[in-house]
Amino acid sequence: MAYTISASGLRKRYGDVAAVDGVSFDVEAGEFFGILGPNGAGKTTVLEIVEGLRRADGGEVSVLGLPPWPRNPRLLPRIGVQLQSSAFFERLTAREQLQTFGSLYGVPAARADAMLEMVGLTDKAGVQVEKLSGGQAQRLSIACALVHDPELVFLDEPTAALDPQARRNLWDVLAGISTEGRTIVLTTHHMDEAESLCDRVAIMDAGRILQLGAPAALVRGLDAPARVSVASGTLPVEDARALPAADEVADDGVSLVVSTRDPGAVVAALAAKDALAGVRIGGATLEDVFLELTGREYRA
């Protein structure tokens, strides 16, 4: 099968730092693919190599069947790139900014308004870019990356520095653009973002891919216990330890948390004791996968 992106054995070194240390992955057409990892993991460097912005020291990469390096003009109309720091013309309005980008690709000026609507910025069409909020500017930069209707889109930490609500709004936009067979590659250091948006994720750390797969498959592969929590003081810790199917119990003064492989049995036993105040049940997450892989807390 012809992959939209095929990378094998990519390497890039900056002085003593092996920023990318043998990275291989394939992305299928129409996939929403995430590269997930903490700061400095090498995500941006991988993306830049694939985009044709940076030359690898070693390895092979093909994008839409073509080598991206040396910079390949035939690829440019087919890919959209949203960089971490967007270079806007600050005095232009949001609409003018999009029209300017679009004109580089021969896109009709009218498309600017359709793009503004897609990212929820119609009411900001006449506002100068320098007056947009961080979240609005991020949405505009995504619209700029999409103005020429590329079949493959790269988004480098599109929700960085956004508040939780703006992040959620942007997730809706990103889920929306992942249609019509478009392929999206996104880097993020938010586990929940990758879990919610991506068909498959590559978890990177220190220049390597540690694990690659569908988020749910990675989490299921862990076979990690679920956590049932109730408000602290709802029942004594000793009683919680005696519950059927309780593996571990911890009480931090706010919540009493029972780790278990059988959350149904724990909840039923708590119900029988009338001890369900503030009950919550949580399964393992990608964060647990990262912890398992690296033996340490995730450092975003």
Ligand X SMILES: Nc1ncnc2c1ncn2[C@@H]1O[C@H](COP(=O)(O)OP(=O)(O)OP(=O)(O)O)[C@@H](O)[C@H]1O
Binding positions for ligand X, rule: CB under 6 A? 14, 17, 19, 37, 39-45, 189
Residue 78 or 208 having the CB closest to ligand X: 208
Minimum separation from the CB atom of position 104 to ligand X (A): 26
Kindly state the tokens that stand for 117: 């609507």
Minimum separation from the CB atom of position 217 to ligand X (A): 23
Residue 17 or 281 having the CB closest to ligand X: 17
Minimum separation from the CB atom of position 139 to ligand X (A): 20
Residue 45 or 234 having the CB closest to ligand X: 45
d(CA 41, CA 39): 6
d(CA 259, CA 225): 6
Minimum separation from the CB atom of position 185 to ligand X (A): 13
Residue 45 or 285 having the CB closest to ligand X: 45
Minimum separation from the CB atom of position 223 to ligand X (A): 28
Residue 207 or 225 having the CB closest to ligand X: 207
Residue 202 or 245 having the CB closest to ligand X: 202
Minimum separation from the CB atom of position 45 to ligand X (A): 3
